Amino acid sequence: MANIFSNIPAELANEIFEDILITDKLRIERIVSKGQTSPDTGWYDQSENEWLIVLSGYGVIEYINGDQVTLKQGDYLNIKAHEQHRVIATSSDEATVWLAVFY
Residues 6+ apart with CB under 8 A from 101: 26, 27, 28, 29, 50, 51, 52
Q: What is the SS3 assignment for 54?
A: strand
**For all residues of the chain together, what is the average pLDDT?**
96
Positive/negative CA dihedral, 43, 78, 24, 14: positive
52 touches 98 (CB < 8 A): yes
Q: Give the burial string for 64-92 (b: 16+ CB within 10 Å, else e).
A: eeeeeeebeeeeeeebeeebebbbebbbe
Look up the pTM and report it.
Answer: 0.92
pLDDT at 28 over 90: yes
pLDDT at residue number 41 = 83
pLDDT at residue number 40 = 84
